[in-house]
Structure formats: C-alpha cells, structure tokens
Amino acid sequence: MKAFIEGLPKAELHLHIEGTFEPELMFDIAARNGIQLPYASVEALRKAYDFSELQDFLDIYYQGMNVLLTEQDYFDLTWAYLNKVNADKVRHVEIFFDPQGHTSRGVKFATVIHGIHRALQRAQIEFDLSSKVIMCFLRHLDEADAINTLEEAAEFKHLIAGVGLDSSERGNPPKKFTRVFELARQQGYHIVAHAGEEGPPDYINQALDILKVERIDHGNTAMRDTSLVERLVAEQIPLTVCPLSNLKLCVVENLNQHPLREMLDRGLCATINSDDPAYFGGYMNDNFFAVEAALSLGKQRLAKLARNSFEAAFIGETRKQALLAELDTYLASA
C-alpha cells in the first residue's frame, strides 16, 4: 500500500505556505536577516510544537513567519515545499498565503507574491507541477482590514486565483466577512473558507450561504449535522480534509476516530491535505500513510481521494482532464 500511495498522482488543495517553514530553514533565514529567534536551537523549536488547540499553533505559526522579509525568503520557503511534494507525486498545488501576516510587519505585498510566484513558475517548468495561489484573510482581524488587503491585491490579481478565510475560527463566524467576500466574488476570485475545524456546523452553512464558497476547508464538524451532510453530498461541495493537522490540534483524539472514511462512504467529496506540514508532522504522503494505517481505506478509497483532488481543483478543463488521465493510467497498472 505504501508503494501504491507513493506512485498515486494527487493534488494538494489546502496548504498554508507559511506552515511549510521547517525549523532548519527558519534558523537559516533568521540568521541571514539578523533576527534572533526566541529558541536556542532547532530541537528546542520543534519541542514547542505541542498543541492542544488551534490557537496554540497559531501563536507559534505567526511568530515563525516574522523572520520572512525578502523576496528570496519567500522563494526559498516555497521552493523547499515544492521539492518535497514533487517527490510525493503531487501534480498540482493550491497554495494559501496570509498577506496580512506580512504586510502588517511592513513587508510589501509585491515581495511576498513575487517570491512565491517565482518558485511556482520554476516548479511548472522543472517538474510539470501546476499551481494556483489563494490569499486568505485573517478572521481574528476585522473586516475593514480584509477589505484593505483585497484592494492591495488588485495589482496582483493575475497571480491570485482565489480568496479564503483562516486563523482563529471560534468567535469569528463567516458572516463577519460578508462584504469582503461579496467584493471578491464580484472581482472574479474563486471562494473558499476554513469552516468546521473547531467551529460549529452553522459556520459551514454560513460559508455556503453567505460567503458562497466553492469548497470548505476542513469541514469536520459537518458530521454532527445530518441535513448539512446531505446538502454537501447533493451539491458535491469538496471538503479539504487535513488528517495530521486534526490530530495535532486535537480536533480528533486519534486517527482511528477520524471521520474521513465515513465522509467518503457517505458520498462527500473529501480530499486529503497537509495544512501546515512543518508543524503537524508530515507532508502529503505522510497524511495518506497515516489515514491508511488508521482507517484501512484500501486502494479504491485512496484512488477516490486522488480523483476528488483533481475534480475539486481550480484548474482549466484541459489540465484537469490530463491529470485525471494520468491517474487512470496509473490505476490501470497499479
């Protein structure tokens, strides 16, 4: 099964580029930028990755991204991630970034987006690995800040496929961002939002009804609400599920209790993703290995997860059909 997963063509649709910041690279970049990290060593930093809920992680995640300053920093971060997932047979990625986590520190929007984009272009050429970029608004900040960010992004619209919503979910419902998502929709962005990671099923309904999302990021708590599950199945709204993230942030107690298998068996369009792999203990294939070990999904469900990832991607029909054909060729021989 390990070899089957390793060779399986797949797409990653829920990945925060700032969450791919490995401690070794963080120390290197901090040193070249003359910044002192509040940890004595790579090992001491890794030890701090012990979370009991989303907020514990976010505090460390925002601290980590503070060392990113130059276009080269953003390039190096993104390029390191792309090399990892290319080895995992990831054929298409949709990368989140948090512009407010950078512009609030005085880093220019252009610096961030150009560094990320240069790495994505190189991966397209060297690995035939396609990509899209999605900018997320930080939901713990107010809507006016998100609107300013949307305005700042206008100049780079050709580099950004969609907008999303992340950060502290509880107490920050989707409806807080009604206007900014309406503006983003009018401007032609794809729309996604984190919902139902820690927040109630109602936040998923709000994301669908008010923000008009095309995919739900996470969506775990939908499983508590039968009529919501039926709706998500009927509308085939993709869920970008993140098993190792859910384990590390105590959304599930252990992976045996993860709802992924049930999601698939109830007809939900679930996909597997790594979220913040440097913090949560694994990249794409590590997530596949972990759920296969815990839930015995079998080849058919694993193949469905890969198929869902291509179906749910924000890519043109030509590329989508090519990737689905690549998957079919692989399955015929595996």
Q: Based on the residue annotation, tell me whether 197 is a catalytic residue of this protein.
A: yes
178 neighbors 211 (Cβ within 8 angstroms): yes
CA–CA separation, 253 and 255 (whole Å): 7
Which residue type, as a one-letter code, is found at position 295?
L
Residue 230 Cβ, how far from Zn ion at the closest point, in Å? 25
* Residue with smaller CB distance to ligand HPA, 17 or 327: 17
What is the x/- site pattern for ligand HPA, positions 193-212, by CB under 6 A?
-x--x---------------
**Residue of 44, 314, 272, 57 lying closest to 163 (CA atoms):** 314
Q: Which of 197, 262, 317, 326 does the annotation list as catalytic? A: 197
Residues 53-82 that bind ligand HPA (CB under 6 A): 54, 61
> How far out from the chain centre does Cα 293 lie?
22
The nearer residue to Zn ion, 164 or 201, going by C-beta atoms, is 164
Distance CA 252, CA 259 (A): 9
The listed partner (ligand HPA, Zn ion, none) that binds 22, CB under 5 to 8 Å by sort, is none
Give the tokens for residue 248.
């590390």
Answer yes or no: are the C-beta atoms of 255 and 291 closer than 8 Å.
Answer: yes
CB of residue 273 to ligand HPA, shortest distance in Å: 10
**Partner from Zn ion, ligand HPA, none contacting 94, C-beta within 5 to 8 A by type:** none
Pairing relationship of beta strands 190-195 and 130-138 according to DSSP bridges: unpaired
Out of 12, 73, 88, 166, the only residue in the binding site for ligand HPA (CB under 6 A) is 166
Determine the size of the site formed for Zn ion (CB under 5 A): 1
Burial of 144 (0-12, 13-18, 19+ CB in 10 A): exposed
* Per CB under 6 A, 102 contacts ligand HPA: no
Task: Give the nearer residue to ligand HPA in terms of CB position, either 176 or 307.
Answer: 176
Q: Of these partners, Zn ion, ligand HPA, none, which one is at the site of residue 131 (CB under 5 to 8 Å by kind)?
A: none
- Name the minimum Å distance from CB 197 to Zn ion: 7
275 binds Zn ion (CB under 5 A): yes
Query: Which position among 167, 172, 205, 240 is part of the footprint of ligand HPA (CB under 6 A)?
Result: 167
Residue 273 · residue 12 · CB < 8 Å? yes
3-state secondary structure of 196: coil
Asked whether 116 and 71 are in contact (CB, 8 A), the reply is no
CA distance 26 to 73: 10
> Which listed option, ligand HPA, Zn ion, none, makes contact with residue 54 (CB within 5 to 8 Å by class)?
ligand HPA
Collapse the DSSP code of 157 into the 3-class scheme (helix H, G, I; strand E, B; otherwise coil) and give the result.
helix
Q: How far is the CB of 261 from Zn ion (least distance, A)?
A: 21
20 near ligand HPA, rule: CB under 6 A: no
- Partner interacting with residue 248 (select from Zn ion, ligand HPA, none; CB below 5-8 Å by kind): none
Residue number of the CB closest to ligand HPA reads 166
Task: Label the pairing between strands 10-16 and 162-166.
Answer: unpaired
Indicate the angle between helix axes 71-87 and 23-32, nearest 10 degrees: 160
Which residues are marked as active site? Answer: 197
List contacts with ligand HPA (CB under 6 A).
16, 19, 54, 61, 166-167, 194, 197, 245, 275-276
